[in-house]
Structure formats: C-alpha cells, structure tokens
C-alpha cells in the first residue's frame, strides 16, 4: 500500500520551523529599523548644521531663533528638501 501526502506530525514540524525562522527575521528587522531612524536623524542634523553655516557665511551672523509666527530668514532656502 502506497503512502500519499504528509502526516500531521510532519506538517506541524514544518510549521514550527517556519514560525521560528520568521521570529528571527522580524527581530533583526526591528533592529535595522531603529538603526535607520538613527541614521536619518543624524543626517538631518548634519544638513541643518551645514545650512546654518551657509546662512552665517551669507549674512555674517547667525539667524535668530525660529519659533511660531516669527518671520525670520533661517534656512528654508538653504536646505535641500
């Protein structure tokens, strides 16, 4: 008598292995996301710093603080995005 298909134990083992592998992948994915957030914030701060230096070179003083409603010149024209 020939045996066709898989037994229930074999299917459960395969599902368990897939579950373990997916949990490992999701763990490393969260780590990569946090590293990318840090890199983006670092890049943004570096760009703002360069824009402030360009602004200082252009006007020979630093721009005043930017707050709500203040009509200052600071950096929108000097930032790339």
**pLDDT greater at residue 69 or residue 29:** 29
> What is the rounded distance in angstroms from the CA atom of residue 75 to the CA atom of residue 55?
7
**pLDDT tens by residue, 11-27:** 999 999 999 999 988 88
Mean pLDDT score of the chain: 80
Does the pTM surpass 0.85? The reply is: no
DSSP calls for 4-19: -S--HHHHHHHHHHHH
User: Residue 34: what pLDDT?
Assistant: 87
User: Residue 39: what pLDDT?
Assistant: 94
Hey, what's the torsion of the CAs at 30, 35, 41, 46, to 10 degrees?
A: -170
Closest of 49, 52, 46 to residue 73, by C-alpha: 52
């Amino acid at each position: 008598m020939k045996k066709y298909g898989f037994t229930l134990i074999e299917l459960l083992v395969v599902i368990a292995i897939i579950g373990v592998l997916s949990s490992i992948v999701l763990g490393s994915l969260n780590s990569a996301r946090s590293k990318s957030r840090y890199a983006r914030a670092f890049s943004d701060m570096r760009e703002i710093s360069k824009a402030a230096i360009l602004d200082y070179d252009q006007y020979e003083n630093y721009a005043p603080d930017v707050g709500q409603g203040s009509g200052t010149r600071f950096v929108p024209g000097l930032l790339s995005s």
